[in-house]
Amino acid sequence: MYRLCFIVICMFTLLSAKTVYGEEIVVHKHLQQAIDGANDGDVLIIKQGVYKGPITIDKSIRFIAEPGVVIDGEGSEYVVVIRASHVHVEGMTIRQSGYGRGAGVFIKESSHVTLKNVRIEDTHYGVYVESGMHINIVNNVIQGRDVHFAQRGNGIHLLKTKHVAIRDNHISRVQDGIYLDWAKQTVMKKNEIIASRYAIHLMYAEGGIAKENVMTENINGIMMMMSKQFTIERNTIAKQLDYRGYGVLIYDSEHVVMHNNTLRHNNTALSLQNARQCEIRGNEFINNYRALHSLYENKDAIVVENQFLGNMEDALIQGAPIVFDDGEKGNYWDTYRFYDWNDDGIGDAPHRIRSMYSRLLQRWPSVQFYFQSPALALLDTTESFFAQAQAQGEDRFPLMDIPDRQNERKKWSWKLLLFGSILLLSSLTMLEYGRRKIK
C-alpha cells in the first residue's frame, strides 16, 4: 500500500514538473509573434535563419537558437530586450543596434537571466543591464564597431545591479570591456578583454571579484573609481602601453585586495591614487616601464610579497610615503643590491626606492623623453650609491628570493641561437681572414 502511494506521488510530481518547464515550441519566423504566443516556462527553439529585430522578451521563457541564427536589429535602438525574470537566451548572433544608447541585449529590472554562447557584433553597447539581479553572462563574444573608442559603447554595462556573474566572455574593440556603475557583488571570471579603452571600469561598485581575467592592449586594464570591498585576483594584465596606460588604477577607493596578479609590460602597472586600506600582495610586476605609482595619500595601503622584475622604474611615489613591508616581510626587488649574511631570506639593509629621474620628472614632465637614456641612467646609478637620504620609499625587509617561484620551463629560443651563431661565425671568419691575409 505504502509502495503504491509512493509510486502515485512520484508520477504526479513528474507530470506536474513537465508543466513547470512548459511547452517546446519550434520557431521558423516572426520571433516576436512566437514570444507573444508563448507562456511562462515555454522553451522556444529557433531554427536557422536571419530574423528581424527588435524583439522583447517579457515572459519567463528559454530562448534557444540552433546554429546559424542571426537576430538583426537593423539599426533599431535595442536588438533584444529582456523585461522578465527567469529568462534563458542561448546560442544566436545578435547584430546592428542603433547608436546613442543602443544595445545588442538590454536587460531591465529582471532577475535570474542567463545569456549564454551569444555572439554580439556591430552594436553600440553589447549587453546593457539596468537594475537586474542574479544575471549570468557566460561564454559570449562581444565585438564592437571599428570606430574610435569615444564613439563606442561598453561591452557589458551594469547599472544598479546585484549579483551578476560574467564568465568566459571574449570582449574586444569596445569602449570599456565591463563597466560597473553602482553594481554590487559582481563576479568577473576568466574573461578576455582586448583592444578597448578600459578592460574593467568600476564606478561606485561595491563587493565583487575580478579573477583570472586576461586584459591586454587596452588603454587601462582595471580602472577603479570610488568603489569598495573589491578583490582582484590572479588576472593577467599586460601590454597597456599607451602613454596614459595603466595596468590597474585605483582612485579614491577602499578595501581593495590585489592578490597574485601578473602585471607585465604596461606603461604603469599599478597606480594608487587615494586608495585606502588596500592590500597589494603576491603580484608579479614584470617588464613594466613603471611598476608602481603612488599619488596623494594612500592610507594604510600595504604592498608586500610582490615581485618586481625587469621594470625600468620600480616605483614613483609622488604623495605620502607608502609601506612596502608588513613588519616581517617585504617584496622581492631585482634592483636590490645588498646581501643576506644571516641567511634569513631578508636582505640585511633596507631597499630604498629613489630615482633622480623621478625627481626631475616632477619638475619638468618633458624629461620623460630621456627615460633610460645613457646619461640619465648613468646619473641614476651613480646617485643610488651615494644619496641614501633622498629615498621616496623604503622596504625594510626586502626578500632575497622570489616568493613561490614558478618553475616554468622556458623553451629554447632557436632563433636567438641562429642569430648569435651567424654573427659569431661571420665575425670570427672576418677576424681570421684579415689576420691570415697579412701574413
Partner 1 sequence: MNTAMKYQWMVMIRSKWLVSFAVLFALLSSAVIAGSGHEATGGFTRSTAALLNLSLLLVPLVSLLAGSLFIAGEKEDGRLALIQTYPISIRSLTLGLYVGSCISLWTVIAFGYGSASIVLFMTGGTWSTFFFLSFVLTIILTSIFLAIALWIGLIASNRLQALGVSLFVWAFFVLFYEFIVLALLSVAPKQWTILLFGLSIILNPVELMRVWTVAAMKSSTLFGPQLYEWSTWAESTSGQFTFAVIACIWVIVPLLFMNVWMKRGKHHA
Q: What residues line the site for partner 1 (CB under 8 A)?
A: 238-239, 241-245, 264-265, 267, 286-287, 289, 309-312, 334, 360, 364-378, 410, 412-413, 415-417, 419-428, 430-431, 434-435, 437-438
**Rounded distance between C-alpha atoms, residue 60 and residue 19, angstroms:** 13
- Of 388 and 413, which has the nearer Cβ to partner 1? 413
- Angle subtended by helix axes 374-386 and 356-363, to nearest 10: 120
Min dist. Cβ of residue 406 to partner 1 (A): 12
Complete DSSP assignment for 285-346: EES-SEEEEEES--TT-EEES-EEES-SEEEEE-SS--B---SS---EETT-----TT-SSB
Minimum CB separation of residue 323 from partner 1 in Å reads: 25
Q: What angle do CA 373, 377, 383 make, to 5 degrees?
A: 150
| Residue number with CB closer to partner 1 (184 or 290) | 290
Cβ closest to partner 1, residue 360 vs residue 391: 360
* Nearer residue to partner 1 within complex by CB, 26 or 428: 428
Reduced to 3 states (helix: H, G, I; strand: E, B; else coil), residue 421 is helix
- Closest approach of partner 1 to the CB of residue 73, in Å: 35
- The three-class DSSP label of residue 104 is strand
**Residues facing residue 223 across a β-bridge:** 201, 249
Helix (H/G/I), strand (E/B), else coil: 112: strand
- Residue closer to partner 1 by CB (options 8, 424) is 424
Task: Closer to partner 1 by CB, 182 or 370: give it.
Answer: 370
The smaller minimum CB distance to partner 1, of residues 55 and 291, is found at 291
Closest CB 304 distance from partner 1, rounded Å: 20
CA-wise closest residue to 261 among 240, 279, 237: 237
Q: What is the DSSP letter of 17?
A: H
Smallest gap, in angstroms, from Cβ of residue 439 to partner 1? 10
Closer Cβ to partner 1, 49 or 310, answer by number: 310
**What residue has cell string 585605483?**
250
| Residue 333 phi, psi dihedral angles, 5° rounding | -120, 125
* CA dist list (Å): 216 to 194, 234, 264: 5, 14, 10
Closest CB 432 distance from partner 1, rounded Å: 9
> At which residue does the C-alpha cell 530574423 appear?
51
Smallest CA-to-CA distance from 34 within 15, 49, 19, 20 is with 49
State the nearest-atom distance from the C-beta of 286 to partner 1, in Å: 6
**Smallest distance, partner 1 to C-beta of residue 413, A:** 4
To 10 degrees, the CA torsion angle through 394, 395, 400, 405?
-120
